[in-house]
């Protein structure tokens, strides 16, 4: 086990086994932070296990007991938690009509309720410390909706509203909340961690799905790197200002300003045109 220092800052990152979470764990470690890298199966992780000032923890955001125990263990080991990065989540897309209650529940249990569980435990610790920063990894999809992502957007819009409200009540304890809003990022969001649902009882949606999928997958293939997001997360972790939202990469840097200035009917027309639907 590494020896941990109270003079070094400590970050806890959920979903550290791949993608943005892993890139963030590596970047914070390189910048001289102590890193509590959490994931569902830490025994499978090889790359960051041996790095100085990094410790792996088992944490399943869908299990309240797992969340509570992990954060207690991190606080015990490091003495404090300066920053929590809520990164764990997965992308679900497809035809809403064919999505079961169980599938919808799974999406919300990970992306929303899981994030809330971690946030709740983090607030308890940071309130006692009278300081801390909680960084939520949301998405351009927390403001702008794309075809076939209705359930995913529901989770990200929920996180945006939840976080914006919560920042008022934790401000007296010197706890800051930040929202990282990436556009298309080249990660397993478009691959291994993607969950796509399509009806097997009708072909009515087939043409629509084929067209929208081609646009979506192309965006993912051309997406920015998770390392770029890691750098912005680190910037937010060190930002003492009241700035809350950090949009990153295309199309976040284009669509968010456009949605603010265009009439809805024009914006929706532009979105349909970009998908050719």
Mean pLDDT by 10 residues, the chain (277 residues): 75 96 97 97 91 97 98 96 97 93 96 98 98 97 95 97 98 98 79 76 94 85 90 97 93 91 96 94
Asked whether 61 and 85 are in contact (CB, 8 A), the reply is no
Read off the tokens for 160.
Answer: 């945006």
User: What is the predicted pLDDT for the residue at 228?
Assistant: 95
pTM to 2 decimal places: 0.94
Supply the range of the domain harboring residue 162: 10-252
User: What is the predicted pLDDT for the residue at 190?
Assistant: 56
User: What is the predicted pLDDT for the residue at 246?
Assistant: 96
User: What is the predicted pLDDT for the residue at 1?
Assistant: 41
Asked if residue 277 belongs to a domain, the reply is no
Asked if residue 213 belongs to a domain, the reply is yes
Asked if residue 266 belongs to a domain, the reply is no
Asked if residue 174 belongs to a domain, the reply is yes
Asked if residue 4 belongs to a domain, the reply is no
Asked if residue 271 belongs to a domain, the reply is no
Query: Environment class of residue 20 by beta-carbon count within 10 Å: exposed (0-12), middle (13-18) or buried (19+)?
Result: buried
Q: Distances in Å between the alpha carbon of 108 and those of 16, 178, 193, 217?
A: 20, 20, 15, 23
Catalytic residues: 152, 156
Residue 72 sits in a domain whose CATH number is 3.40.50.720
Q: What's the structural domain count of the chain?
A: 1
Asked if residue 259 belongs to a domain, the reply is no
Asked if residue 276 belongs to a domain, the reply is no
């Amino acid at each position: 086990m590494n020896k941990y220092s109270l003079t070094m800052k400590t970050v806890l990152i959920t979903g550290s086994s791949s993608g943005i979470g892993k890139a963030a764990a590596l970047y914070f470690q390189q910048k001289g932070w102590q890193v509590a890298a959490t994931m569902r199966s830490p025994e499978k992780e090889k790359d960051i296990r041996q790095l100085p000032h990094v410790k792996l923890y088992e944490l399943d955001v869908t299990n309240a007991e797992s969340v509570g125990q992990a954060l207690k263990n991190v606080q015990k080991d490091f003495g404090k938690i300066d920053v929590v990065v809520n990164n764990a989540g997965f992308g679900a897309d497809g035809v809403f009509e064919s999505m079961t209650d169980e599938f919808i529940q799974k999406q919300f249990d990970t992306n929303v309720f899981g994030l809330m569980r971690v946030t709740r435990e983090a607030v308890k610790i940071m309130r006692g410390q009278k300081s801390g920063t909680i960084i939520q990894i949301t998405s351009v999809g927390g403001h702008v909706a794309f075809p076939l992502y209705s359930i995913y957007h529901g989770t990200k819009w929920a996180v945006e509203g939840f976080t914006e409200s919560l920042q008022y009540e934790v401000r007296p304890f010197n706890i800051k909340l930040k929202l990282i809003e990436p556009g298309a990022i080249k990660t397993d969001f478009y691959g291994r961690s993607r969950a796509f649902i399509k009806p097997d009882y009708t072909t009515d949606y087939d043409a629509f799905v084929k067209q929208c999928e081609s646009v979506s997958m192309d965006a993912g293939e051309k997406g920015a790197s998770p390392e770029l997001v890691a750098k912005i997360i680190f910037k937010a972790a060190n930002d003492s200002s009241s700035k809350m939202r950090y949009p990153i990469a295309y199309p976040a840097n284009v669509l968010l300003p456009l949605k603010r200035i265009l009439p809805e009917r024009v914006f929706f027309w532009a979105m349909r045109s970009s998908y050719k639907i």
